[in-house]
Structure formats: C-alpha cells, structure tokens
Amino acid sequence: MPPRFIVGNWKMHKSISEAESLVNGILKHYQPHPSVELAVAPSFVSLQAVSRLIASTPIGLAAQNVNAHDEGAFTGEISPLMLQEVGCHHVIVGHSERRHIFGETDSLINEKLHAVLRHGMLPILCVGEHLNERQANQTHKVIHTQLQKGLEGLSSYDLLRVAIAYEPVWAIGTGHAATVEQAAEVHAGIRTFLAMQWKIDAERIRILYGGSVSGDNAGTLFHSPQINGALVGKACLNSESFVKIIELAKTS
C-alpha cells in the first residue's frame, strides 16, 4: 500500500509569523513514519517562510492554486515557475472554493493541471458534488464529468502522478463529514472510472477524502482501504489536531 497522504489546506488563514508558529508546532509533535506522507499548503505569501522551515524535514510544500501560464500580464496571479522556485512539490487544483466562489471551470482546471505537471510538480485534483446533486443521485455523474474534463489529455503515466481529493461540497467546513461508507463508495467509483478510461491499475492512484476531517473521524475514515489520505481544512490550523490526524493515518 502506498503511504497515506495527509495534506493541510490552510486556505486564507495565518499571517507569515502565524504560519511559522504552526509549522514549528507540527514539527515539535510529529514523528515521521514511512506509512504517512505529509504536505502543508500555506497562503502564497507564507510559502517561502514555510519552505525554509521544512527544507530538511519530510514535510512537503503545496500551493493552494496556480495560474496555467508560465508568465505574462496576469495581474495578481502566481505562475507554476514561481511555485517551483519556492519549493512546492504539490499544487491543489480545482478546490471547491475555487470552482464555486471564483468560477473556475473544468477546462481552466485542466489547463492548470497540465501546467503543474509540465513543471515537474504533482497536482491534487479536487472533485465533489453539491448536496442537491447527491440527493438527486447525481454524485457519480457529477464526479465523472469533473474527472473526464479535468484530466483531459493526460497520459496514463501522468495520471498516476495526480492525487485525487474527493471533497463533497456539503461536507466542507460544515462539521458534517461524509461517512466512511459514503466516501469509500465514491472512491471506488472514481477508481473504476479511471481504470476504464485510462486503462491503468487504479489501485495505484491515491484518492484522499476531504470535508470536515477531524481527529474524531479520521481514524474511522482511514479504516477503509479506499481512503488513501485526507485533505484537511479547519483541523489543520492547529498543530495538535493536525498531528492527531497524522497519527491516526499511520499504519503499523
């Protein structure tokens, strides 16, 4: 089994000094283990400070977003070259807040994904359905469309470099995580879909669950072999709760 992958998405939280304190808190309590891979995704302005602090540790650096172009007249945007230079290994692409607050489309997300891969970084592609879509039994359809369009043009080699994060929109920031059965069922559907479309061994794809993951529910979620890690929002803003999730992800 590949190591479980735990990613902390700090969103628009933490000043630079707060970011440094959070990393120091994680480093103080976290015991590296081969069964867990860890990454943190601070805001753009904290990337450099965090990069320095984690340089000689097993913690990876992730960005929360990227522009698909290498450079140009795109005021306010950050290019993949800049992320690479600051030390990012991973880039979160297509987070539900990017899709729904900032209007990112599947085709834009696809461009970003290609840009990340082109520059040697690894994308974490987020997918997930709204509550009304789940209630209308549209979950698999919605997610298949997001995968089909978001991953368009990827070779099977590149697909194996992508981590998928299943984040039901109704579970993000609500305190109501999906049950392990709900998440495992969607993860299995994602694997079947990718195996059929790309002719790959989909067991090799890491599928993370995200949406109100906490120290209270992570242990149950990780019981499912379908759940290869977590994309954590609120609970990663505090080093103790984040380290608790990391500890629960360790397998003996």
Distances (CA, A) of 55 to 24, 48, 52, 65, 243: 13, 10, 5, 21, 19
233 near ligand PGA, rule: CB under 6 A: yes
**x-marked contacts with ligand PGA along 167-186 as a string, rule CB under 6 A:** x----xx-------------
| CA distance readout (Å), 226 to 40, 111, 159, 203, 210 | 22, 28, 18, 9, 13
The stretch near ligand PGA (CB under 6 A) out of 98-106, 178-186, 233-241, 243-251 is 233-241
CB of 149 to ligand PGA, least distance (A): 20
Please say which residue, 9 or 110, places its beta carbon nearer to ligand PGA.
9
Q: Which is nearer to ligand PGA, 80 or 211 (CB)?
A: 211
Report the site for ligand PGA in 211-230 (rule: CB under 6 A). 211-213
95 is catalytic: yes
Report helix, strand or coil for 33.
coil
The position carrying tokens 């549209």 is: 138
Report the alpha-carbon distance of residue 44 to residue 89 in Å, rounded.
Answer: 14
Tokens representing 24 are 């120091």
Q: Which is nearer to ligand PGA, 80 or 210 (CB)?
A: 210
Q: Can you tell me the distance from the alpha carbon of 11 to that of 51, in angstroms, rounded to the nearest whole number?
A: 17
Question: For ligand PGA, which residue of 8, 9, 98, 202 counts as binding (CB under 6 A)?
Answer: 9
100 annotated active-site: no
| Residues at the site binding ligand PGA, with contacts judged by CB under 6 A | 9, 167, 172-173, 210-213, 231-235
